[in-house]
Structure 1
Amino acid sequence: MLIALSCILFFFGLYFFYLIIYWNWNKARQPYYNPNQPLLMGHRGSPTKITENTIFSFQKALEQGADGIELDVRLSQDKQIVVFHDKDLKRLSNRSDMVESLSLAELQTIELKKEEGQKEEAYIPSLNELVSLLAQAKVVNIEIKSNSLFHGHNILNPLIKFLDKNHLDDKCIISSFNPLILMKLRLKRPKTIIGFLYNRNQIFHGLSNLIWILRVQPENLHIHYSLLNHWIVSWARKKKIKINSYTINDKNHYKNIKLDGIFTDNIEYLK
């Protein structure tokens, strides 16, 4: 029994090694990337100027010269896709409700906290409200938020309907820290451009992330700047995976590594 198990593990190891070194998958064309300089994407819009993940914050990021925007999505109680980062309202309002416990109409009555000097209104938008704004961006990263590995999967069908209806595949990347959601999305809609968020909080995060990357086969790898290293970048380049890093607000965070895209809170500084 022990010998059989050892043989299985040995051949699994050989197969895994083969995938890491030799396996390539076809990469979809992503016309928004510029080989000469990284894309600048407003992380939740322009959150140092206007409340994050609001329509005016996204508009501000584009006005500041961002190539694209990054936004976070969840489902409301009535299964509408809303643009909001946290699982609850504590940080950005005077309420503590869970986002998924309120309907879209209820969420939109809540006034969010404003940044210093901000005059623009701040409320939680639905993803549908952003369609015309998304058309102005070269690239849009939609991050699916989930509270656990098995939470948040019910957003996939309405999100797929949104993408199909609005024909955003030429500029849209779907990302998540939840690899199971990404794997399901890959199976449900193979043509979707996926961004794999490299999770630094997992035990043995390097091996765990690598296994999921091989399974999901993402077109993009999104990695925190503190985890950037030449080995990861070199491996991704060989697999034709684009490297985007977050959240970069200092040019020194990436000066020695060539990136394809940057998520930043401060477009004006990096522009």
Structure 2
Amino acid sequence: MLCVAIGWTKEQPESREPKTALSIISHRGANDRQPEHSISAYQQAIQDQVDYIEIDLRMTKDRQLVALHDKTVNRTTNGTGKVENFTLAELEKLTLVSTQKEQEKIPTLVEILEKFGKSTRYYIELRESTKGLDMVEPLIQLLEKNDLDDENFVLLQSFSSESLIRARQLAPNLSLTWLMKAGDFDLNSAVKSDFATIGIESRVVTDNVVRQIHQAGKQVHVYFINKKSEKAEQKRLLNSQVNGYFTDFNLFTKKLINRE
């Protein structure tokens, strides 16, 4: 069922600052209650009053940007195949897997930005490899068209430093997060990098890691790779002074940090 807010508008929120020191980043939208990366998941997350909705991007065969995490549509839709082998028209024939009666399509980034405008902040991931570089220019064009090419509204994240550097060249006003995998994490590289935020997996977070990244003038945003242990990990890191959680459980995280 699609959750519809009464009197929904795209007006800018009263304040662009998070209400607490720890930002709540809704990972793939409110995916614990709605299909991940669906319009309803993003809308629910905004109703949950999170600080950011997180969007993974994929590019179709005809170079359209859509919200989808996996390389294929197999897990999240009633279809099979790689996203890059579908045109947008072909993707639109698929429906997202859901326990709800309401069937939803894979949303395009155009649809998301037009629907929600400046009513929320966006945390958008560029892919690794050449696909990430291919995405940068059309993404920036869409942000500019919607007057969202500003760090007050959009953070870009990527495991690819090349994609982030290209994004900075095209949109210097955007804030950038360099994601680092646990197996590749190098504290010295993180500290010396030219990115405002470092995104790291929860299991590599220590007081020393957070302290050194902070001393370099950067923020630390934490992601979790195991939903079964995520809540316990969020509790464990509560006093670690990290600046943000990529959470799969918006309401749990809000309660954990005493957010009204």
Alignment TM-score > 0.5, same fold: yes
Note if 1:230 corresponds to 2:207. Answer: yes
Deviations 1:30-59 (A, max 9, x none): x84548431112100011111100111101
Greater CA deviation, 161-170 or 185-194? 185-194
Distance 1:249 1:140 in 2: 23
Show the counterpart of 1:40: 24
Q: Which of the numbers 215, 227, 240 marks the counterpart of 1:257?
A: 240
Contact kept, 8 Å, 1:140 with 1:171, in 2: the verdict is yes
User: Is the counterpart of residue 160 in structure 1 residue 140 in structure 2?
Assistant: yes
Question: Which position in structure 2 is the counterpart of 1:266?
Answer: 249
RMSD, aligned α-carbons: 2.1
CA distance in 2, matches of 1:94, 1:120: 14
**Residue in structure 1 matched with residue 34 of structure 2 by the alignment:** 50
TM-score with structure 2 length normalisation? 0.81
Contact residue 45 and residue 60 of structure 1 kept, 8 A: yes
Aligned residues: 231
CA gap of 1:189–1:243, structure 2 versus 1, over 3 A, is same
Q: How does 1:125-136 map to 2 (within 5 A)?
A: 125-131=107-113, 132-136=115-119
Could you tell me which residue of structure 1 aligns to residue 218 of structure 2?
241
The structure-2 alpha-carbon separation of the partners of 1:236 and 1:218, relative to structure 1 and needing over 3 Å to count, comes to same
Rg (Cα) greater in structure: 1
Amino acid at match of 2:223: Y
Question: How has the CA–CA distance of structure 1 residues 121 and 213 changed in structure 2, closer, same or farther, with 3 Å as cutoff?
Answer: farther
Unmatched runs of 5 consecutive residues or more in structure 2:
1-14, 225-229, 255-260
Structure-2 separation of matches of 1:175 and 1:213: 17
Residues 18 and 51 in structure 2, CA contact (< 8 A), matched pair in contact too? no
Matched with 1:11 is none
Could you say which residue in structure 1 is the equivalent of 2:65? 81
8 Å contact kept, 1:33–1:39: no
SS in 2 for 1:111: coil
Per-residue CA distance 1:120-164 (angstroms, 9 max, x = gap): 322111101012314211x21001123xx3343111110111121
Match of 1:218 among 169, 185, 195: 195
Counterparts of 1:192 and 1:212, CA distance in 2: 19
Which structure 1 segments of 5+ residues have no match? 1-30
What is the CA–CA distance in structure 2 between the aligned matches of 1:83 and 1:89, rounded to whole Å? 11
Aligned residue for 2:167, secondary structure, equals helix
- Normalized against structure 1, the TM-score is what? 0.78
